[in-house]
Structure 1
């Protein structure tokens, strides 16, 4: 069985923790592992291979995090833009043998009961081998209004229900045969593609055209932007599952959460004080909380000192460049906040001050009118693109490691506490040929210091 692992989405309901270039599935939320890493490890004991469907911007994040957990047997379908779950799953299936059984899972789910999960997957695999399209129904623990529901009679699906009102959700729990729709599936490739062609022929044809013209090597499949744009934007539920008569469900209680809100995140945080304040750090630095007569709050932080005084039932998310404060129970509205932030300061929904790149990372330390200061970390054996800037000059100072610097036609080494200057318009490159990380401070000065003031002449990463 092959795991088709869906890595799309930006997790806007978890802004400012989740950003487009570091969505929630790649944030290190628990035990310094990301949800993506946890999912790969969980499914590696069930599946022989991992087929990752990802946006091109997240590919290097996924590759880097796979290396950190020594994962192997992974290959990628890279989408130039998101077109929802049905096209992603369809194109992945079109690249696999028709008799292969696949487990489709999301990279941003929490599953705490591994034994129950494995049992549910084995049951789903058996149903898939009999020709069923299998979905997983989660035993609801409260009347959630943010999920779709599946009405079932044993393994038979009676109906799919849209996100209900609170009163309807309470009725679902009372009846006892309604389950949360988890968004996980299991089926044979050929069965799914036959049903997709019958239920959504236009979608099938558009995906087929894209796959027939796909660029690929041993581990990467890249879809052309114009062919991706021509594919309808539709979920697998609307395209197939709600139309097919071959759908089965495996009801299960596996300690599942989609972490779709900060309320859901609060429920998953184990570290709490005596007043039930939950504290979660998403960086290497533990947030520091002073709490006076405050209870039932969530603090998500990155090391800064925070104090609560006479407050309760609040969600406080503190990042280096944005602060969110919400009442518990209202965090579904955070998506509206992210939409407004995008219109005011789009960079705040795109990336954190710490930005990951294929060669390492950079962190913005300070910025102002006509200047910006960054800390660059370049991994061993990696190099930045050969590039130039039209609106800024740069000063580089080595903090640790050894830098190989190229400026125009000259190349030279820089050691700690040595520096160089790159004049505006000069072609330049930075490389780490050493065995340890190269750490540098970069000072940019110019009329414009945006990230789009980069003209790449050569790049190892195809950007």
Structure 2
């Protein structure tokens, strides 16, 4: 069996923790492992291979997280843009033999009852081997309005329901045969593709073209943007599951959560005697039932209850418990303003390492740049700024036009405006340098890269 891990989501409802370039599946908020790592390790006992479908901007993040847990993916499928789950799963199924069993799992969910999880997988495997499309329905504990529902009679699916209002969700819970739609599936690759071709032929046709025209480098499939854009965007539920006559559901009481809101995150975090989340950075006086998250600063509350307070270096969220679904509206406002707060943290990650903005103003910016051993920044130049690099630790091989020089700890290099330059770490330890940018314009789009 092959585990297809869908890894392209942005987790907008957990902003400002989750950003486009560092989404929630890579955040280590529940333990010393990210949700992505937990997903990979959870499914490894059942699956002989792993296929990761990811946005190409998150590829290097996924690689780093796999290296940390000493696991290699058998294949990466990199999407230049997201087109929802139906095309993502289609591309994965096209990359394997049609008779292979595929277990599709999002990368940002948690499962606490692994014994029951194993039982559900075994039951799903029997159904999938009989050419059924299998979905996992989660036993609901309360009338959640943020999930879709599946109405069933045992393993027989009666209907799929949209995210309900509160009154409708309460009726579902009272009836007892409604389950949360988990977004996890199992089927033979060929069976899914046949159903997709029947019920969503345009998605099938365009996905097939995109796959056949993609670039294969070792075990990495890079889909071309123009072909990805031609695929209609749709979910597997709308495109296939709601239309197919071959769907079965495995009722699953597995301690599942998609951590799709701060309320669901609050339920999973340890709490003190006043039901405030536990943090070394939190002091509460006569305060209860608060979710408090802070990376650095101390947060103190007095006489407040039922709050969500999420503090990051560049953004602060304060909300009432029960209202965090509206966070996606904040993200919408940031999108309308073209704000980088939607996409980036103060620290951003790149294939070569990471960088942190320490200070900035209209005519200067100061960064801490970490380059991993053997890695190199792309050759580039800037038309509106000079750069000054100061090595804090390690050794830098600096190239300015055609000249190369080694810069060591406590030494520096000046990069004049308009000069092509790059830096490489030739050593065995991280290269750490402070980059000071000075000029009339110091935004990230003042970069001209030389791809030759």
Same fold (TM over 0.5): yes
Counterparts of 1:390 and 1:45 in 2: how far apart (Å)?
Answer: 53
1:426 is aligned to: 419
Give the CA deviation at 1:345: 5.1
Counterparts of 2:74 and 2:97 in 1: how far apart (Å)?
Answer: 16
Partner of 2:231: helix, strand, or coil? coil
1:133 is aligned to: 133
Q: How far does the alpha carbon of each residue in 1:435-459 deviate from its partner, in whole angstroms, 9 at most, with x for none?
A: 1111110000011111111111148
Give the CA deviation at 1:220: 0.8
Counterparts of 2:190 and 2:113 in 1: how far apart (Å)?
Answer: 31
Q: How far does the alpha carbon of each residue in 1:69-116 deviate from its partner, in whole angstroms, 9 at most, with x for none?
A: 101243111111010000110111111101000000000101111121
Counterparts of 1:429 and 1:119 in 2: how far apart (Å)?
Answer: 53
After superposition, residues 126-205 of structure 1 pair within 5 angstroms as 126-205=126-205
Q: How far does the alpha carbon of each residue in 1:228-256 deviate from its partner, in whole angstroms, 9 at most, with x for none?
A: 11110100000000000100000011111
State yes or no: 1:59 paired with 2:59.
Answer: yes
Give the CA deviation at 1:344: 2.8
State yes or no: 1:99 paired with 2:99.
Answer: yes
Partner of 1:296: helix, strand, or coil? coil
Partner of 2:366: helix, strand, or coil? strand
1:20 is aligned to: 20
Counterparts of 1:327 and 1:47 in 2: how far apart (Å)?
Answer: 41
May I ask how many residue pairs the two structures share in their alignment?
Answer: 452
Counterparts of 2:168 and 2:30 in 1: how far apart (Å)?
Answer: 34
Contact 2:52 / 2:73 at 8 angstroms: preserved in 1? no
Query: Structure 2, unaligned stretches of length 5 or more?
Result: none
TM-score (norm 2): 0.98
2:379 is aligned to: 386
Counterparts of 1:289 and 1:231 in 2: how far apart (Å)?
Answer: 47
After superposition, residues 408-419 of structure 1 pair within 5 angstroms as 408-419=401-412
Partner of 1:324: helix, strand, or coil? strand
After superposition, residues 229-378 of structure 1 pair within 5 angstroms as 229-270=229-270, 272-279=271-278, 287-344=280-337, 346-378=339-371
Counterparts of 2:338 and 2:296 in 1: how far apart (Å)?
Answer: 24
Partner of 2:450: helix, strand, or coil? strand
Counterparts of 1:81 and 1:37 in 2: how far apart (Å)?
Answer: 23
Query: Structure 1, unaligned stretches of length 5 or more?
Result: 281-286
1:75 is aligned to: 75
Partner of 1:33: helix, strand, or coil? coil
User: Aligned-residue CA RMSD in angstroms?
Assistant: 1.1
Counterparts of 2:26 and 2:96 in 1: how far apart (Å)?
Answer: 26
Counterparts of 1:279 and 1:163 in 2: how far apart (Å)?
Answer: 32
Q: How far does the alpha carbon of each residue in 1:247-295 deviate from its partner, in whole angstroms, 9 at most, with x for none?
A: 000001111101111111101112x222111146xxxxxx511111111
Partner of 2:119: helix, strand, or coil? helix
Counterparts of 1:74 and 1:67 in 2: how far apart (Å)?
Answer: 13
Partner of 1:47: helix, strand, or coil? coil
Contact 2:362 / 2:442 at 8 angstroms: preserved in 1? no
